[in-house]
Amino acid sequence: MKRIYDFSRNPAQRNYTVADLKALKGSGKTLTMCNPADRDQIIACVEAGIDLFVVGTDQMEDIRELAPTHFTGAGSSWAQFGSDDEIIAHAFEAMRRGADMYYTLRSFDVMERLASEGIPVQSHIGLIPTFSHHYGGLRAFGRTAEEALQVWDTLKRMEDVGVFAVEVECLAEEVLLAVNDKTSVVTFSLGSGAGGDAVFSFLADICGEASEEDTPPKHAHAFGNVGRLHKQIHDERVEALGQFHSEVVKGDFPYAPTNIGMHDGEQDKFLEALDKWTPVHQ
C-alpha cells in the first residue's frame, strides 16, 4: 500500500499508483479491473480482490467510502459535453472527488490539454462502441496487418500527447501481445487477450447478469449466474404483489393479526362521544 496525496492534496493510500501501473510493463504481472455500478457491487469487488475500478464520476464518494485505497478511474462519455472547456472542468471535478485517472474519447487536443495539467488520461483503442457507425457496426479490430498498424499508429499518437492508459477492446490478441511492451501506455484488455497490463471485464458479464445486448459479446464470459437470482427475485416480487392485490380486492386483507385494536371498553366510549360531538368552531 502506497502513501500518497490525492489530486485534492488530501493524504491517502492507494493499492496502485500511476507509477506502479507503468511499472507493470515486462513484469509478468497482470491486474484485474471491473466497473462496479453501486455500493453493493463495490463491496463485492473489494471482497473478491479486484485490483482496479472504473466508475462514473457520481460514484466517487461511494468509492472513497467503501474502497478508499483502490486505484479508480472516472470519466465522461463522448456526447456528455459539447465543449473542450466543459470536459476539462469535469475532469478536474472528477479528480477533486477522488479519481485517479480520467477517461475521454474526445480529440487528441483534449487528451493533451488534460495531460498537460497533470491529469492521468485514459482513452480507448480497438472497438469503440460509440463510434460503431463509422465501422459499419460492432466488430473486431486488428485482424489484418494493415488495420493492426492503424491501431498501433493511434496508440503511439496517444502516447505522444501524454495519454497514460487505454482500454483495448476487441483487438486481435496477437496485436496487443506484440505492442504492449513497445509503448509506455498502460493497457486494459477487454476481449483482447492476456497481453495487456490488466484484464478488464464488465461486472454484469462476469456475474452472469443482464447484458446490454440480446446476445452477449464473445468476450463476455460469465463466471456466475446472478441473472438467475435476479429473475427469481423478480418472480417472487410479482407473486407477492399479486397476492396482496387479490386479497385486498376480495376484502380479506388486512388480516386481523396485522390490525391494531382499541383498549377494552374504549370503543364504546369513543362511539358515544362521536355521536355527541359538535364542532367547536361554527
What is the DSSP secondary-structure string of 21-47? HHTTTTT---EEEE---SHHHHHHHHH
Q: What is the Cα–Cα distance from 233 to 210, expressed in whole angstroms?
A: 14
Answer yes or no: do 189 and 244 share one domain.
no
Note the pLDDT of residue 211: 75
Determine which of 83-87, 211-215, 253-257 has the lowest per-residue pLDDT on average. Answer: 211-215
The answer to whether position 280 is within a domain reads no
39-51 average pLDDT score = 98
% of the chain at pLDDT higher than 70: 100
User: Please, what is the average pLDDT of the chain?
Assistant: 95
Q: What is the Cα–Cα distance from 101 to 94, expressed in whole angstroms?
A: 9
- Judged against a pLDDT cut of 80, whether residue 212 lies above it is answered with no
pLDDT in tens, 248-273: 999 999 999 999 999 999 999 999 99
pLDDT band at 213 (very low <50, low <70, confident <90, very high): confident
Phi-psi region of 185 (alpha: psi -120 to 50; beta: other; left: phi over 0): beta
pLDDT in tens, 25-38: 989 999 999 999 99
pLDDT band at 215 (very low <50, low <70, confident <90, very high): confident
Q: What is the Cα–Cα distance from 222 to 215, expressed in whole angstroms?
A: 13
Q: What is the Cα–Cα distance from 196 to 32, expressed in whole angstroms?
A: 10
CATH number at residue 47: 3.20.20.60
The answer to whether position 14 is within a domain reads yes
- The residue assigned the cell 361554527 is 282
77-100 average pLDDT score = 95
Note the pLDDT of residue 219: 87
Answer yes or no: do 100 and 237 share one domain.
no
**How many domains, in total, are found in the chain?**
2
Note the pLDDT of residue 217: 82
The answer to whether position 149 is within a domain reads yes
Note the pLDDT of residue 282: 62
pLDDT band at 84 (very low <50, low <70, confident <90, very high): very high
Answer yes or no: do 28 and 52 share one domain.
yes
Determine which of 57-61, 191-195, 212-216 has the lowest per-residue pLDDT on average. Answer: 212-216
Answer yes or no: do 218 and 236 share one domain.
no
pLDDT band at 173 (very low <50, low <70, confident <90, very high): very high
Answer yes or no: do 156 and 265 share one domain.
no
Supply 129's cell numbers: 462502441
pLDDT band at 134 (very low <50, low <70, confident <90, very high): very high
The answer to whether position 282 is within a domain reads no
Answer yes or no: do 137 and 195 share one domain.
yes
pLDDT in tens, 222-231: 999 999 999 9
Domain that residue 248 falls in = 230-275
The answer to whether position 243 is within a domain reads yes
Answer yes or no: do 249 and 153 share one domain.
no
pLDDT band at 274 (very low <50, low <70, confident <90, very high): very high
Answer yes or no: do 185 and 267 share one domain.
no
Supply 256's cell numbers: 386481523
